[in-house]
């Protein structure tokens, strides 16, 4: 069982906005601003989309944004495009003896 909880799937139509949630505890998401998000297409390595809750690496579209409220982080994708269809994973630094955890992943379908 993953330490961070994500919905198994979300969907949206091209041009719409969707939000993927990532729920943790006050030992991980709620304790640090070290939440990151990854996009993974089938058969490919993950790609960093957001780090430190809301920072975008160079080259990542500004259609991707991150936020956090309490122990829940969120990834919002605006202006949905076909190429956004992928699996998305959140991760967080934690206070536990295993200091880094991933969410279970969310499959995004663009209708």
Partner 1 sequence: QVQLVQSGAEVKKPGASVKVSCKASGYTFTGYYMHWVRQAPGQGLEWMGWINPNSGDTKYAQKFRGRVTMTRDTSISTVYMELSRLTSEDTAVYYCAKSVLPDLAAAGLDYWGQGTLVTVSS
By CB under 8 A, name the binding residues for partner 1.
2, 32, 34, 36, 38, 40, 45-48, 50-52, 57, 89, 91, 93, 96-105
> Is the CA virtual torsion 39, 68, 64, 83 positive or negative?
positive
Of 54 and 72, the one with the shorter C-beta distance to partner 1 is 54
Of 47 and 63, the one with the shorter C-beta distance to partner 1 is 47
Q: How far is the CB of 93 from partner 1 (least distance, A)?
A: 4
Q: How far is the CB of 101 from partner 1 (least distance, A)?
A: 6
Of 57 and 79, the one with the shorter C-beta distance to partner 1 is 57
Of 23 and 36, the one with the shorter C-beta distance to partner 1 is 36
Q: Beta partners for 37? A: 50, 90
Tokens linked to 53:
């809750």
Tokens linked to 27:
């030992």
Beta strand residue intervals within the chain, DSSP E? 9-12, 18-23, 35-40, 47-50, 64-69, 72-77, 86-93, 100-102, 106-110
Q: How far is the CB of 18 from partner 1 (least distance, A)?
A: 19
């Amino acid at each position: 069982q993953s330490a961070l909880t994500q919905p198994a799937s979300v969907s949206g139509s091209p041009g719409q906005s969707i939000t993927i949630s990532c729920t943790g505890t006050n030992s991980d998401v709620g304790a640090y601003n070290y939440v990151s998000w990854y996009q993974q297409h089938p058969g490919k390595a993950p790609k960093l989309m957001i780090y430190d809750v809301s920072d975008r690496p160079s080259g990542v579209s500004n259609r991707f944004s991150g936020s956090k409220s309490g122990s829940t982080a969120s990834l919002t994708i605006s202006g949905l495009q076909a190429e956004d269809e992928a699996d998305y994973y959140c991760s967080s630094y934690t206070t536990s003896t295993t200091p880094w955890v991933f969410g279970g992943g969310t499959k995004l379908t663009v209708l």
